[in-house]
Amino acid sequence: MPAILQLKNIHKAFGPRVIFDDASVTLSSEQKAGFIGRNGAGKSTLCKIIIGEDTADSGEIVQSSDLRLSYLEQHDPFKPEETVLEFLERHSGQEAWRCGEVAARFQLKNELLDTTVKSLSGGYQTRVKLTSMLLREPNFLILDEPSNYLDLKTLILLEEFLQDFEGGFLIVSHDREFLKKTCDHTLEAEDGRLTLYPGMVEEYLTFKQEQEEQALRTNATIEAKRKQLQIFVDRFKAKASKATQARSKMKQIEKLKTIDIAAAQSRVQIKIPGVEHRQGIAFRCEGLAVGYPEKLVAKDIHMHLDHGTHVAVLGDNGQGKTTFLRTLAGNLPLKEGSFRWGYNCEIAYYAQHVVAALNPKHDVFMHLESHAAKSVTRQEVLAMAGSFLFKGNDVKKPISVLSGGECARLCLAGLLLMKRSVLLLDEPTNHLDFETVEALGAALRNFQGTVFFISHDRTFVNMVATEIVEVKNGAVVRYPGSYADYVYHLESQVREELKAQESGPAEAKRAAKPPSDFKQRKQTEATRRKITGQIKRCEEQEQAYRKEKDDLETEVAANAAAWTNQVSSRLAELQRLIVEEEKRWTQLNQELESLS
């Protein structure tokens, strides 16, 4: 694969803080690389250097003459009253029909094309920016946290596109599942260096751990040998008869070199101060309607939930998830009906806008200490600060100098220290690297209080959720299946929509220009990769269903009292899902064979 982009000996520092030190990497035109690293490791900085929005202090960036680079813009390039179609035409220079054709890939069709961009939700605005990026007909993409603020459906649409994309790309993301489904290489920024691994993120992390363990074992062996030799030298160096041997041993000691191992980064662990374990109803609503004075968002909401329930609030952007959460938090008056929390329930609400309420005169520690419950110790405050990457002197940083991501992390850390029995969390994983995301997921999974949270990070939702609530078409209802069922249903829906779109009108097919032999081969290879990935995911899903079914059957066999109508229904549902996956697996393999 020809090199299309080379970074040679890049050095970048902000004051005394070195971000990259002699970092180098070569990317080819077909590499699909997930870019990982802890917050502050320099991922966004490197992306800005590549696209020309920032410069390295030293080093060289070599771009192939064949490179057609495009990137997902972080700022909003829209004019105030500009419609989607007007923006796409202006920003890309393409004709309206071409803009509409590419926009349809992200389900931007019909009346949406004539809608003012600024009036769309953040997720739909990201769809517009993705469309604009693709209209430049690139062969290499830079995407910095594309999954932030995207609903799950849009994320699946993006995954489907990236699986088909014929060029290469570099994606910064904290969403492990997203990286697994789109990337075949992993680039890590750590300790000022860049490491490119020819495999997916989980393979790389396993490889990295094995390498570190091997280096530690080797060093332990060398140190044991050194001690053994040193004992001989110390014992016999003064004896004339052994002096020659002692000198020989000393030379051997000098030749023993241990393997340099980077200072081990502490594993992220988050401990949420415990709350009292309670039983009974935590939340109940009857005939609830939510919305704004001028707009009804959802109505006829009936629900009751027990203490300790962890509820994932899911649905497309713009459907009302945040409106629902704001109403439960008391930030919005309800429009109809009623709701109430259980006895003595205390609420803590996290949303992106809470950053605006930070006191710029405080430093990090002052903010955390002022929000922590009285029973929380200073050590617990410092531990929570460290979990969210405020370590050492960072706790003395004034809030006024923090970045947007640092402010968001600070607000979340302060909320977790409040020891409230109910947590309402709106997109808590934005601005976190995936190690911190998973540490937060593990902490919330063990949290004995009640949680309502909005997130489209599949790994995080899988870790935390015990109940699924879907906000869709003016309704808020409990989803009857598991989160895996929900994701599978949404993926199937997206594929059906894309399939119907690709079939298109017969007139459009006849008018389409036949692809060249080279392009046809490229398309075939891209389709083959996509189907192979779908087969792998199909096998993983079937295996997950079988494991759940086997576990349930084992539990029932061991305890007949565990057999309930709910268990019976779930076993039947699992059997149906297994059969569906088997049929889909067969169909996909037939499609793959037809490409041979």
pLDDT range class, residue 513, cuts 50, 70, 90: very low
Closest CA to 414 of 348, 330, 326: 348
Residue 594 pLDDT > 80, yes or no?
no
Total number of residues shown for the chain = 596
Report d(CA 399, CA 363) in Å as an integer: 5
- Interior/surface letters 323-348, b for 16+ CB within 10 angstroms, e for the rest: bbbbbbbeebebbeeebebbeebebb
pLDDT range class, residue 450, cuts 50, 70, 90: very high
Do the domains 522-596 and 3-204 match in fold?
no
pLDDT range class, residue 519, cuts 50, 70, 90: low
pLDDT range class, residue 83, cuts 50, 70, 90: very high
226: number of Cβ within 10 Å? 15
Closest CA to 152 of 558, 551, 468: 468
pLDDT range class, residue 189, cuts 50, 70, 90: very high
CA distance readout (Å), 391 to 266, 387, 403: 11, 8, 16
What local confidence, expressed as pLDDT, does residue 278 receive? 85
pLDDT digit string, tens, across residues 392-439: 888 998 998 887 778 888 898 999 999 999 999 999 988 788 788 888
Domain-by-domain residue ranges, the chain?
Answer: 3-204, 281-484, 522-596
* Both tokens assigned to 147: 């999954």
**3-class secondary-structure state, position 576:** helix
CA 589 to chain centre: 30
Closest CA to 172 of 212, 205, 139, 142: 142
Give percent above pLDDT 70 in the chain.
Answer: 93
CB 435 within 8 A of CB 405: no
Cα angle: 219, vertex 220, 221; to 5 degrees:
90
Closest CA to 349 of 268, 452, 438: 452
CB 369 within 8 A of CB 310: no
Query: Which DSSP state fits 137?
Result: -
Rounded to two decimals, the pTM is 0.72
**Least confident interval from 199-213, 230-244, 303-317:** 230-244
Residue 507 pLDDT > 80, yes or no?
no
**Least confident interval from 88-97, 206-215, 314-323, 455-464:** 206-215
- Rounded to the nearest integer, the mean pLDDT of the chain is 85
Which distant-in-sequence residues (6+ apart) come within 8 Å of 254 by Cβ? none
* Both tokens assigned to 526: 């891209």
Mean pLDDT over 307-333 rounds to 92
Report d(CA 482, CA 468) in Å as an integer: 7
CB 125 within 8 A of CB 119: no
Report d(CA 238, CA 23) in Å as an integer: 49
Which CATH code is given to the segment(s) 281-484?
A: 3.40.50.300
- Burial (Cβ within 10 Å: 0-12, 13-18, ≥19) of residue 423: buried
Q: Which amino acid is at 580?
A: E
Residue 502 pLDDT > 70, yes or no?
no
What local confidence, expressed as pLDDT, does residue 596 receive? 66
* Both tokens assigned to 230: 């040193």
CA 563 to chain centre: 37
CB 126 within 8 A of CB 150: yes
For 52: left if phi > 0, alpha if psi spans -120 to 50, otherwise beta; the answer is: left
pLDDT digit string, tens, across residues 345-396: 999 999 877 777 888 889 999 999 999 999 999 999 999 998 888 888 889 9
pLDDT range class, residue 266, cuts 50, 70, 90: low
Residue 151 pLDDT > 80, yes or no?
yes
Closest CA to 415 of 267, 273, 311: 273
16: number of Cβ within 10 Å? 5
Residue 246 pLDDT > 80, yes or no?
no
* CATH class of the 522-596 domain in this structure: mainly alpha
What local confidence, expressed as pLDDT, does residue 344 receive? 84
269: number of Cβ within 10 Å? 11
* Both tokens assigned to 180: 């697994």
DSSP labels, 417-473: TT--SEEEEESTTTT--HHHHHHHHHHHHT--SEEEEE---HHHHHHH-SEEEEEET
Return the bridge partners of 264, or none: none
* CATH class of the 3-204 domain in this structure: alpha beta
Residue 505 pLDDT > 80, yes or no?
no
pLDDT range class, residue 261, cuts 50, 70, 90: low
Q: In three state form, how does the secondary structure of 142-157 look?
A: EEECCCCCCCHHHHHH
CA 56 to chain centre: 27
Q: Which residue has the tokens 């071409």?
A: 98
CA distance readout (Å), 331 to 328, 346, 470, 595: 8, 15, 21, 56
pLDDT range class, residue 230, cuts 50, 70, 90: confident
Query: Which DSSP state fits 88?
Result: H
Residue 1 pLDDT > 80, yes or no?
no
**Least confident interval from 62-66, 155-159, 522-526:** 522-526
CA-CA-CA-CA dihedral for 515, 516, 517, 519, to nearest 10? -70
Q: Which residue has the tokens 């995911």?
A: 537
